[in-house]
A and B are shown apart, each in its own frame.
Chain A
């Protein structure tokens, strides 16, 4: 068993274990640190920065920073909330997120994050990028208008499915998700039962013909905000 590591989050003492990230240790202690690209079962990634906390006064990504004895972590502060909101707003304006007719509404981590953070309007201008929808796969739709480049699909395909269906292509603002076939997702060995088909936090990779099968009121975040499972200790710890 790994060595115990004690540190504090917002003044509360947390017992972690060596080798854990701050995000993992916090979750086991029922403390929610907002996060999007991190996902239980996948290797840490650290791209969205929504999990930013102050570690001994310095901003760090909680999902990639290991726990350290005696560290003083700040999580639930007005300043960090504002920073996280700004990051989430950037994700909104960089894509084409039409929650009103998106089938992921109510089950979407990005939307739920915006609600949890209390985002009402975007401080950045919308960019209305031109993105593609790939419906070539018989059972899975890849709708990149909604992609937030979290790489969960890439990691799930490689680490959990043992495949290489998704990867990043392009650079800078042109960076986007590509699939491992010139003919689109339909040309890859992706299966609807793959973990990669379920890893997307938004409506970018969805199972076809499911659509709005879950009624409003019974969706994941209809009655409880994102993070409440962790806070109530029921969580799949991540």
Chain B
């Protein structure tokens, strides 16, 4: 690859909460690549050294704040291994699943309505003054109310299982610290049908929009890639637990049913000098071509089926669009996300009717181990937690690969693709800014800039030529 001159963004120039995007051009002013500069709190691994292992599931949610429940559960799964308690009691596993599906439900609802729907309902090019959640609330008030109530439903489930809506303590090494009382359950059961109806209307909006605009959406920020996720032993989608499966852009299996305790034999992380965030890749393929996508789109591609009927019906419609082949369209993330929203609600409903949630056998322990690895499918994709714990119960080392890190290369590709298709001359237009924003947002990255609820994403876009000269720079937000 004829890489042009590298430019370094000094940490001091970073703007808190801003997405910083650099687009590199070659001699002929054609886009070579894009670099999304992500400010990530890398102090975590250091900070956690020496802490007692039972503190970690509560501690980690503080350090990576956007989906605390996912970190809480991934760390708890890792610590299950430390105490030899990975074979949870039925009550513990189901309470944790309920917590996780509640998190998935509220996160997907938030993303779709608050962040994505303005782009979809008003179009990418619409004035940012109306292309925001306030605009949606004005034009589609019923939808806005639904969005709030769906989010609240998920959050209340988190509260009932974790103790608090954010930063709870429910999952502990080897189990959970509470079950769900009949009274708590009945509140959720009462609203379950209504929530199910809303979830289905959400998937319909996403589907109708995607199908109607397929010609325009298909090339938008799209590219072929590998896909990775956990799946159940029978190949079904499983957001809480399973084995690793990776497929290529055509659907060919790269590996399948890999026990994630040995993930390091299959996944490696590349460090690039311009980014604080690492670039994971599949070892057998190498860093150049081994990168992969995670998250709703990847999960729809890797799963052989979904074990809940409404989501499975929606999945069939989804795969029909690509004739059963993996879907590689960036903008299909939104539709996939809404299929998962339905799946999460179906799972919630089934769990609420399960008597095991009222069980009192909450914690198990077994043979003590020194290494604990916990993976789960967070709203934004596969989340890896990996810890070493010494004889004194103190954490010796930690390695995390968060969903957004897994999607690091794909997000850069998506932005590069959008820039290739929409950059005219060497000037950054409002339209280009909009398109870059829409492409990044499809991945729902855990960046504070991307989850800016009101209005546009604060962003700085820089065009750099092959000699490292800045040709144009625009920022907003």
- Please list the residues of chain A having a beta carbon within 8 angstroms of any beta carbon in chain B: 100-101, 103, 133, 135-136, 141, 186, 208-218
Contact = CB atoms under 8 A, between A and B. Distances in A.
Interface of B: 50-52, 54-55, 57-59, 62, 83, 162-164, 167-170, 172-173, 177-178, 363, 392-394
A101 B62 contact: yes
Nearest to A100: B62
17 contacts: A103-B54, A133-B394, A135-B392, A135-B393, A209-B54, A210-B54, A211-B54, A211-B55, A212-B57, A212-B58, A212-B172, A213-B363, A215-B169, A215-B170, A215-B177, A216-B162, A216-B164
A213 B177 contact: yes
A147 to B, nearest CB: 16
A211 B50 contact: no
A15 B473 CA distance: 79
B52 A212 contact: no
A207 to B, nearest CB: 11
Given A103-B55, A141-B52, A216-B162, 19 more contacts: A100-B167, A101-B55, A103-B58, A133-B52, A133-B394, A208-B52, A208-B54, A209-B83, A211-B52, A212-B169, A212-B172, A212-B177, A213-B172, A215-B163, A215-B170, A215-B178, A216-B163, A217-B163, A217-B178
Pick the most buried of A133, A208, A213, A218: most chain B CB atoms within 10 A of its CB: A213
Nearest to A102: B55
Contacts of B62: 100-101
A134 to B, nearest CB: 9
Nearest to A137: B392
Contacts of A101: 55, 58-59, 62
A131 to B, nearest CB: 12
A213 to B, nearest CB: 6
Nearest to B179: A215
Please give me the 3 A-B residue pairs with the lowest Cβ-Cβ distance, nearest first: A216-B163, A211-B54, A135-B392
B50 A133 contact: yes
Nearest to A143: B52
Nearest to B51: A133
Contacts of B83: 209
A136 B50 CA distance: 12
B177 A135 contact: no
B52 A135 contact: yes
Nearest to A132: B50
A161 B55 CA distance: 29
A135 B57 CA distance: 19
A110 B57 CA distance: 23
A49 B425 CA distance: 72
Contacts of A213: 172, 177, 363
Contacts of B58: 100-101, 103, 212
A51 B173 CA distance: 39
Nearest to A134: B392
Contacts of B392: 135-136, 186
A216 B165 CA distance: 11
A215 B172 CA distance: 10
B394 A135 contact: yes
A100 B363 CA distance: 23
A210 B169 CA distance: 12
A208 B51 CA distance: 12
Contacts of A218: 178
A101 B393 CA distance: 17
A183 to B, nearest CB: 12
B172 A211 contact: yes
A212 B57 CA distance: 10
B172 A216 contact: no
A31 B107 CA distance: 48
Contacts of A136: 392
Contacts of B169: 212, 215-216
A213 B55 CA distance: 11
Contacts of A212: 54, 57-58, 169, 172, 177
Contacts of B170: 215
